Structure formats: structure tokens, C-alpha cells
């Protein structure tokens, strides 16, 4: 039986019964009976409508139970209960999906901001908050150009060129460099994706500087050699002293270029991840004695060079790389310490870790230069560095060798008091002899 006829049986029965009463008792009694029944029906519906209205206005539909009903209203409330249950399940699924989406975007390395059609912030992940200096809790509903006010960004947002990204420098956030991209999303919405490219920008700057510096370093000796070759090839040149001087300078510049190429090859080899360390047990006492003798020879008696070995502990490392790192630090100290200055070469165990350091009494280094000293070709005083014969790559080599041995390379310095260059090796690389011998006395 259809729902219509099922709902109509009561009304048809009432009409038939009222007709029977009409025939027996007359129209008045029949109408009174019909009116009384209809009044009860209307009251019944009104009471249930009031229950429904109260539930709709004042109840939490997902948690409050549906009102109880009777008659046809029992079916209505039953259908309503099924609808609310289905709606609640759909809402939970949507909430769960939204929560998963927000967790996924929060874990992304890129910042994401959802903007509406007039560029108001609807949602953003924590990375976007860091990149753009916004806060979801306070800035939701705000126009993003009121918060990110750089002119290039405002122009980019207005241009709506979705196929072109924007490189934006956030000066107030430690010179952060961002790559911003607008992507159409949903109904007149936009995704603003931000990516931190600060590291890549620095690498690109270093690459440009590296090429420029290598070109400059090679141009000078090549110019000297080329000039003297023209002098020597001059048929009218018969001055043997000039020729000898030319040959001497060309030899010096050739050696300088050889050192530069060797250091570049060394750096390339150290940066190659496929180049594994050839580790073995190193007798540091013997190595440091050899380096001490080389240092005295390089100094030519112009400095007081001491060797302090406080332990006989040996080191698990690459002998060639270790010698290169130590030699660079010692030769740097000699080159940049004035005549009569003191230089000490030290090896000791500190808190279970191996510590090698070179201390000098030179002029010192200003604090702003220290973080950049390990960059390729970075020089505090370019003219003085070239006079001393440095290639500008020594400390970069030391940093890479330290990193390959899981060691920490640190530079400390004070103006007028000198500098200390230290390499601290992890405890796992320290090999302690079975019987400690007497430490080597100072020299």
C-alpha cells in the first residue's frame, strides 16, 4: 500500500463514520463529532510541530536525540533520525578528511595559503606562517596584502599571472628568500605556495663568486707570464738580468697556479660523495713532529713555534687528508703572524674527544669575518693574502676534511691577541694505547 493511501485511511474512515451518524442522529451530531476529531488531529500535529521547531532551534542536532512522536509523526521523526545520522556520519568523514589534509599540508616543506576571491586568508599551514609572518589564529579573514606588504608581492597578486613564480626577499626574516607561486583552486579560490630557496640562492651566489674568483686568480699569473714571454721573445732584448728576473717571476707565478689547481682538485675530491675515506690508525705524535719541523723551515726562524702533545692517543682517519688539514692551519698561522710572534701546535684529549688546535699571536680577525672564512677565496685582506702566497682555499679544505671525519672545525679570534683554529674529533675515532707513555715535552 502506498504512503498516500496509508495516510488517507484515517480521514476516509472519519468521513464514512460521520456520514453514518448523519443518517442516524442528524447533521448537528455528525458535524460536532467530525469537528471534535479534527480538533484533536490539529492539536496533535501542532504539538508535534512545536517539538520539531524546538529541536531545530535549540538542539545540537548531532548529539541530541530526535523527539518522540506518535501516529504519522512517528514515521516522520524516524526518517529525520536517519537523515541526521547520515548527515552526522558525512560530517565526521569530511572533518576527518579535512584534518588529514591539514596534517599532510602541515608536514610539507612548502608553505600553503588558501585565499578567497578577494585575497582574504582562509587557511594556512605553519610553514606559511614562518615564511610570510602571518598567524592563522589572528589573521584568518584578513587580506594578505595587508600583512605581506612588499611591492613586488602586491603587484604579483594583482597581475594574476599563475604561470610565473615570484622570488621575494623577506628582509625582516633574516634575509629569507622565497619562491612564491599562485595556483587557481576551487571556486574562485587560490593557493599561494611558498618555498624557501635561501640555500639555493646562496649556492648560486657562491657559484658565481667561485667562477669570478678562479678567473681572477688565474688571470694575474697568466698576465705576468704572458708579459714576460713577450719581453723574452723580443729580439732586441739582450739584458741578462731582466731575462733572469722574468724567468724567476714566471716560475713563481707558475707554482702559484699549480698550487691553485691542486687545491681545486683537492676540494673537488673531498666534495665527491663517492670518494670514501681511506681510514687507518694514525700515529699523530710522529705526524706532528714532522709538521713541526716543516713549520720551522717555512718560518725561517722568524717565529717561536712550540709543539705540545698531551696524549699518545692515536686517531682513526685518512692520513693524507689529516696531514693536509693540519698543514693548512699551521701554514696559515705562519703566514699571518708577524715576525717574532708565537705559534703553538697542540694535541690533547678533552672530555673524551680528540682536540687539535693551532694558536697564534697574530693581529686577530674581526668577528664579522669569522663565519665566512671557510668560504672559497674569501679573504679578510686580499692584497696581503696574495703576497703571502695563499690560494684562498685552505680553510675550505680544512672544513671539508673535518666534516668527512665527523669533526667540528671552529675558529675563535680576538683583535690584537691572535687566533685559534681547532678541530675536535669524536670519541669514536680516538684510539688509546694500552699503556700511556710520558707526554712529549714542549719544544
Q: What is the chain's pLDDT, residue by residue, as a tens digit (443 residues)?
A: 455 566 667 777 777 877 877 878 778 777 888 888 888 888 888 888 888 887 777 656 555 677 777 777 777 777 787 887 787 777 777 777 767 776 766 667 788 888 988 889 888 888 888 888 888 888 888 888 888 888 888 888 888 878 888 888 875 656 788 889 888 887 788 888 898 888 887 777 766 666 666 666 666 677 777 776 666 666 565 567 767 777 777 776 776 777 667 767 776 677 666 667 778 898 889 999 999 999 999 888 899 999 999 998 889 998 888 988 998 899 889 988 888 899 999 999 988 899 999 999 888 888 888 888 887 777 666 544 445 556 677 788 889 889 888 999 999 998 888 899 999 999 999 888 765 444 444 44
Residue pair 65/74 in contact by the 8 Å Cβ criterion: no
Per-residue b or e along 33-59, where b marks 16 or more CB atoms closer than 10 Å to that residue's CB:
bbeeeeeeeeeeeeebeebbeebeeee
**Cα(403)–Cα(409) distance, integer angstroms:** 8
Which cell goes with 396?
Answer: 675550505
Select from 49, 85, 83 the least CA-distant residue to 67: 49
* Predicted local distance difference test score (pLDDT) of residue 60: 62
Q: Does the domain formed by 108-196 have CATH 3.30.450.20? A: yes
**Cα(267)–Cα(264) distance, integer angstroms:** 5
Residue pair 189/122 in contact by the 8 Å Cβ criterion: yes
Based on its alpha-carbon atoms, the radius of gyration of the chain, rounded to whole angstroms, reads 43
CATH topology of domain 207-271: Helix Hairpins (1.10.287)
What does each C-alpha distance from 30 to 26, 103, 165, 166, 393 come to in angstroms?
6, 71, 84, 86, 115
Write the CB contacts of 305 (distance below 8 Å, at least 6 apart in sequence): 292, 295, 296, 299, 334, 342, 343, 344, 345
Write the CB contacts of 131 (distance below 8 Å, at least 6 apart in sequence): 111, 170, 173, 176, 178, 194, 196
Per-domain boundaries in the chain? 3-98, 108-196, 207-271, 280-431
Question: Around 1, how many Cα atoms within 13 Å sit in the side-chain half-sphere?
Answer: 7
- β pairing state of 280-282 and 314-317: antiparallel
Question: Around 48, how many Cα atoms within 13 Å sit in the side-chain half-sphere?
Answer: 16
* Predicted local distance difference test score (pLDDT) of residue 239: 63
Residue 388 host element (H or E):
helix 382-388
Q: Is the dihedral of CA 191, 192, 198, 200 positive or negative?
A: positive
Same fold, 207-271 and 280-431: no
* Predicted local distance difference test score (pLDDT) of residue 273: 65
* Predicted local distance difference test score (pLDDT) of residue 59: 58
Question: Around 428, how many Cα atoms within 13 Å sit in the side-chain half-sphere?
Answer: 4
Length of the chain (residues): 443
Write the CB contacts of 309 (distance below 8 Å, at least 6 apart in sequence): 284, 285, 288, 346, 347, 348, 439, 440
Select from 348, 330, 353 the least CA-distant residue to 439: 348
Across the beta sheet with 280-282, what order do the strands follow?
Answer: 280-282, 314-317, 430-431
The DSSP string of 20-69 is: HHHHHH-HHHHHHHHHHHHHHHHHHHHHHHHHHHHHHHHS-TTTSPPPP-
| Residue tagged 625582516 (cell numbers) | 172
- β pairing state of 342-350 and 304-309: parallel
| DSSP label at residue 440 | B
What does each C-alpha distance from 162 to 118, 165, 167, 439 come to in angstroms?
16, 7, 14, 70
**Cα(187)–Cα(117) distance, integer angstroms:** 8
* Predicted local distance difference test score (pLDDT) of residue 214: 67
CATH entry, 280-431, from 3.30.565.10, 3.30.70.240, 1.10.4080.10, 3.90.1150.10: 3.30.565.10
| Residue tagged 628582509 (cell numbers) | 171
Q: How many C-beta neighbours within 10 Å does residue 112 have?
A: 20
Amino acid at each position: 500500500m502506498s504512503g498516500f493511501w496509508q495516510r488517507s485511511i484515517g480521514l476516509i474512515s472519519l468521513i464514512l463514520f460521520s456520514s453514518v451518524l448523519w443518517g442516524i442522529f442528524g447533521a448537528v451530531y455528525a458535524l460536532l463529532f467530525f469537528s471534535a476529531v479534527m480538533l484533536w488531529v490539529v492539536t496533535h500535529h501542532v504539538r508535534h510541530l512545536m517539538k520539531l521547531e524546538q529541536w531545530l532551534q535549540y538542539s545540537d542536532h548531532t548529539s541530541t536525540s530526535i523527539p518522540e512522536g506518535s501516529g504519522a509523526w512517528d514515521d516522520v521523526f524516524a526518517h529525520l533520525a536517519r537523515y541526521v545520522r547520515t548527515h552526522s556520519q558525512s560530517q565526521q568523514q569530511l572533518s576527518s578528511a579535512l584534518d588529514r589534509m591539514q596534517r599532510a599540508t602541515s608536514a610539507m616543506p612548502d608553505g600553503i595559503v588558501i585565499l578567497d576571491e578577494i585575497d582574504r586568508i582562509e587557511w594556512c599551514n605553519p610553514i606559511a606562517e614562518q615564511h610570510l609572518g602571518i598567524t592563522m589564529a589572528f589573521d584568518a579573514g584578513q587580506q594578505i596584502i595587508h600583512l605581506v606588504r612588499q611591492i613586488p608581492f602586491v603587484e604579483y597578486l594583482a597581475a594574476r599571472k599563475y604561470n610565473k613564480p615570484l622570488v621575494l626577499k623577506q628582509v625582516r626574516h633574516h634575509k629569507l628568500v622565497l619562491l612564491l607561486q599562485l595556483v587557481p583552486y576551487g571556486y574562485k579560490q587560490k593557493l599561494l605556495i611558498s618555498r624557501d630557496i635561501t640555500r639555493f640562492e646562496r649556492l648560486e651566489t657562491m657559484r658565481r663568486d667561485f667562477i669570478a674568483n678562479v678567473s681572477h686568480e688565474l688571470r694575474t699569473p697568466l698576465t705576468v707570464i704572458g708579459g714576460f714571454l713577450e719581453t723574452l721573445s723580443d729580439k732586441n732584448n739582450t739584458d741578462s738580468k731582466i731575462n733572469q728576473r722574468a724567468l724567476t717571476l714566471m716560475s713563481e707565478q707558475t707554482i702559484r697556479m699549480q698550487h691553485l689547481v691542486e687545491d681545486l682538485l683537492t676540494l673537488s675530491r673531498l666534495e665527491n660523495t663517492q670518494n670514501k675515506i681511506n681510514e687507518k690508525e694514525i700515529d699523530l705524535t710522529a705526524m706532528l713532529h714532522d709538521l713541526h719541523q716543516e713549520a720551522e723551515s717555512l718560518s725561517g726562524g722568524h717565529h717561536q713555534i712550540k709543539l705540545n702533545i698531551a696524549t699518545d692517543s692515536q686517531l682513526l682517519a685518512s692520513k693524507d687528508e689529516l696531514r693536509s688539514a693540519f698543514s693548512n692551519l699551521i701554514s696559515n698561522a705562519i703566514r699571518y703572524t708577524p715576525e717574532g710572534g708565537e705559534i703553538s701546535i697542540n694535541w690533547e684529549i678533552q672530555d673524551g674527544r680528540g682536540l687539535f688546535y693551532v694558536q697564534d699571536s697574530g693581529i686577530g680577525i674581526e668577528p664579522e669575518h669569522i663565519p665566512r672564512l671557510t668560504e672559497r677565496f674569501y679573504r679578510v685582506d686580499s692584497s696581503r693574502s696574495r703576497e703571502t702566497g695563499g690560494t684562498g682555499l685552505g680553510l675550505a679544505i680544512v672544513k671539508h676534511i673535518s666534516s668527512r671525519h665527523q669533526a667540528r672545525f671552529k675558529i675563535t679570534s680576538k683583535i690584537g691577541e691572535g687566533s685559534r683554529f681547532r678541530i675536535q674529533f669524536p670519541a669514536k675515532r680516538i684510539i688509546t694505547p694500552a699503556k700511556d707513555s710520558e707526554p712529549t715535552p714542549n719544544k
